[in-house]
Structure 1
Amino acid sequence: MVFIALLGGCDSSPSDSSSGSGGSGGATASSGSTGSSGSTSGSGSGSTASSGSTSGAGGDAVSSSSSGGGQGGAGGDETATTGCASGRYILCEDFEDTDVGGIPQGWTKHGELVAVADDQAASGSRSLKMGAAPNGERRIYHDASQLGSGHWGRIRYRVQLPVPDAFVHSTIVALHGEGPTTGPQEVRVVDTVKEDKDGWDNDGNGSHIQYLYNVQPQGAEFGKGSDYSWYYEDAWHCVEWHIDGPTQRYDFYLDGELLDQISIANGPGNYAGSEIPDAFSEVRIGWNNYQSAPPGFTAWVDDVALDDERIGCED
């Protein structure tokens, strides 16, 4: 179910759906930041990433069930029972009013193996499912011109285990807009990099991930990443972000806790390492890989909400 609060004076013209060119992932930031890692909850920064995406029309996500239980990392949110409240948020989608195998009204499909499914849900009985594929885009796009110069966002996501044994950069939520100095770009606000079997911390199992803020303009990407202290888990997690163009500020929350390793607070007119637009044309939800990771990730997204105030994980 999607609800959009109409705000006066907003441009609703179609947006540019380009999202940059491909690259290779890494663990260092190209905007001059370097990271320190180690503790599972400590501070530090790194950065990463690789880039690129493709779009197209495709089939429905293949339905498959998964069971709970994961390893390490932050605890999952298994008790959420509510979805979107009508008219409460600028943009809200809980997928309950969309047929299984379909795409919600107002969203456009990009790539294969993405559709509403009823085998997992954080609330209600349906969610958006991204079926397994070695690489590429499995996302849905929505107009975001009503968000203005800053907003809060919230989604719940779940990743089925086992995950591919590969180094891979994956985007779950991205925004498209014109960077202050960089032109058209994708701003990735819920973004991860998974280590490979050699592991950045030499744990030997290649299961750790980092979260990051990542920007892909027409040129080289840049961003700011956490240490590799988290995991994909067969459990629902709530993630939130806050992004603001006038103050060039970004914050990320995992299950209600601020992950300050990737916070950015550059201040007005200071764009290096942030390049946050004053307006966005699209929000892109789903899964996008930038390296091949066979047999692929199976994941779900639910309870998408964007607003001008913090939404939180309780609703």
Structure 2
Amino acid sequence: MTRLVAAAAGVLLLFVAPAAAPAHSRGGCADRFLFCEDFERLPLGGAASLEWGIDTKHGTLTVERHRGDRVLHVHTEGNGRAFLKVDDFAPPGNSFYGRVRLRVAAFPTAPDWAHYTLVEATGQGPEIVRPLGGQYVPTLDRALWGVGADGGPTGDWTNWRESAPSVAGRWQCVEWRADATDNRVEVWIDGRPRPDLTVTTTQHGGNPVDFVFPRFDTVKIGWQLYRGDPTPAAYDLLLDDVALSATRVGC
């Protein structure tokens, strides 16, 4: 907004008010990122890129327009999966940060203990690391975020927290850090640190076996559910501004 302001000496001064900040700051892609995808350069329709692959079973990935932006629509049926897959990933020091903006239409409400993954990192080593996922907890009748893992000596676990409900129907910016120094995974939601979701070599939900990262070479981002005949029977989420980096990306 521009307006005239009268000065004491009678001179008119031109005052330009600062523009209002955008309601939703966009991430975009920068050269410093190890990987980045904002979907703006991709055609609408079935998702495909020379920069990343696809891993699906009973699921689809589609580039769609949403409120002026291009986003990735992830759809799965039952306990299917649909992931954007980053191969040949070699983070320095086997440690990296990630960020994704997401909107999940609904989380599972059945069967009991159904758990879901949105980000999965694998490589040379038996552990499958899940920096972003969660589980439907029937004793609380809620779906809760929790860092998880599978395979290797620690087996299948999701370190869900009652303090971190999985919220459906609205956009959120989720960041994570995988730090190989002590096999630590940290999480931020909408720019706020969530120490309740942190796991480390020896602190990961009471499992007495040490949790150790593989040598990462693949990161998958999307959706997978691990129990059959779930409610709802199908799952939809929108993803945008995916980034992997050696330093924190931010929202």
Q: Same-fold call, TM > 0.5? A: yes
Given candidates 110, 115, 128, the residue that maps to 1:186 is: 128
* Residue of structure 2 in register with 1:55 after alignment: none
Contact in 2 for aligned 1:95/1:116 (Cα 8 Å):
no
**C-alpha contact (below 8 Å) 1:118/1:126 kept by paired residues:** yes
The match for 1:169 is 115
When the two chains are superposed, the root-mean-square deviation of aligned CA atoms in Å is 2.4
Q: Given residue 72 of structure 2, which amino acid in structure 1 is its aligned partner?
A: L
- Could you tell me the TM-score, scaled by structure 1's length? 0.62
Q: Distance in 1 between matches of 2:38 and 2:27?
A: 6
Give 1:119-198 correspondences, 5 Å limit: 119-120=65-66, 125-148=69-92, 149-161=94-106, 163-166=107-110, 167=112, 168-178=114-124, 183-195=125-137
Assess, with a 3 A threshold, how the Cα gap between structure 1 residues 86 and 260 changes in structure 2: closer, same or farther.
closer
Equivalence for 2:168: 233
Q: Deviations over 1:158-214 (max 9, x none)?
A: 0114x5431421100110123xxxx3332100111123xxx423xxxx4x2222121
Residue number in structure 2 paired with 1:89: 33
| Aligned match for 1:249, one of 176, 181, 184 | 184
SS at match of 2:234: coil
TM-score (norm. length: structure 2): 0.77
Deviation, 1:146, is 2.6
Identity of aligned residues (%): 25
**Structure 1 residues 297 and 86: alpha-carbon distance in aligned structure 2, compared to 1, 3 A threshold:** same
Is it true that 1:303 corresponds to 2:241 in the alignment? yes
Alignment of structure 1 residues 276-295 onto 2, 5 Å: 276-277=213-214, 279-292=215-228, 293=230, 294-295=232-233
Shift of 1:144: 4.7
SS of residue matched to 2:216: coil
Which amino acid counterpart does residue 86 of structure 1 have in structure 2?
A
2:71–2:240 contact (8 Å) kept in structure 1: yes
Any gaps of 5 or more consecutive residues in structure 2? 1-21, 203-207
4+ long deviations beyond 6 Å: none
Cα distance, 1:223 vs structure 2: 4.7
Q: Return the offset for 1:310.
A: 0.8
- Partners of 2:158 and 2:225 lie apart in 1 by 17
Q: Contact 1:95–1:104 (CA<8 Å) still a contact in 2?
A: no
Letter in 2 for 1:303: D
Q: Distance in 2 between matches of 1:164 and 1:242?
A: 26
Distance 2:164 2:43 in 1: 37
Per-residue deviation, 1:274? 2.7
The CA deviation string for residues 30-62 of structure 1, in whole angstroms up to 9 with x for no partner, is xxxxxxxxxxxxxxxxxxxxxxxxxxxxxxxxx
Please give the alpha-carbon distance, in whole angstroms, between the structure 2 residues aligned to 1:210 and 1:165.
Answer: 11
5+ long unaligned stretches in structure 1: 1-77
Which residue is equivalent to 2:148?
A: 214
Q: Deviations over 1:60-96 (max 9, x none)?
A: xxxxxxxxxxxxxxxxxx9324232331311111111
SS in 2 for 1:152: strand
Q: 1:158 to 1:235 in 2, by over 3 A?
A: same
**Cα distance change of structure 1 residues 119 and 134 upon mapping to structure 2, 3 Å threshold:** farther
State the one-letter code of the partner of 1:143. Answer: D
Q: Deviations over 1:253-304 (max 9, x none)?
A: 111122212213448xxx9443123x31100010011012142211111111
Selected match of 1:274 from 211, 230, 246? 211
> Could you tell me which residue of structure 2 aligns to residue 50 of structure 1?
none
Report the residue type matching 1:209 in the other structure.
A
Structure 2: how far apart are the matches of 1:176 and 1:266?
16
Distance apart, 1:132 and its partner CA: 4.0
Q: Does the 8 A contact of 2:134 with 2:146 survive in 1? A: yes
